[in-house]
Structure 1
């Protein structure tokens, strides 16, 4: 599990290879990832945007950005957490993802970035 804390917000990531949605013969590898965002601070926050950097071991680099996560812009109270599951497809059996969330502190409307730690996407056969 990859974990990072930025400005009182802890982001943890777990990944799972999805063989039932993958087709290695056509260079299609599907991965799911579960993100846990914990508000360790004293103020309510709202996740507004995401920005991902996706690297494939074949040399492909992609950027994905947009509003919220899986259609939501969750408010996370102090001591609370928000979890979601999403996915990523690669053209090879190994890669990485990292990025950041734009978060608003509800008390004063100030915006700040929260780092999403770099994590590996690896098909299990690569680990043998």
Structure 2
């Protein structure tokens, strides 16, 4: 975390939250009232189209499945090559962005795991 990558990944989380809250907030059913959290990987396929994977929980409840499906549908509207891979100092490529997703009170929040401070 040299600051440059941290800033880029922080703003991608903020941008994704804005995208979901402004463009797609109305699609979430009102019956989802409790806070739901899950983890995703957002990456690009070989043609640059966004791919979304649910990382956890391994046995999601119905609300998480619904939220993930809405998120996946919305991610299809992201521009090509919207997620850059992270290249580490050793030359390893991390293929996308790993986000903790929270949904509560009709608001999406994304936190990039690469930007969470260590204690």
* TM-score between both structures, scaled by the size of structure 2: 0.30
Q: Based on CA coordinates, which of the two structures has the bigger radius of gyration?
A: 1
Normalising by structure 1, we get a TM-score of 0.29
Higher relative contact order (CA 8 A, sep 6+): 2
Compare the two structures and name the one with the higher strand fraction.
Answer: 1
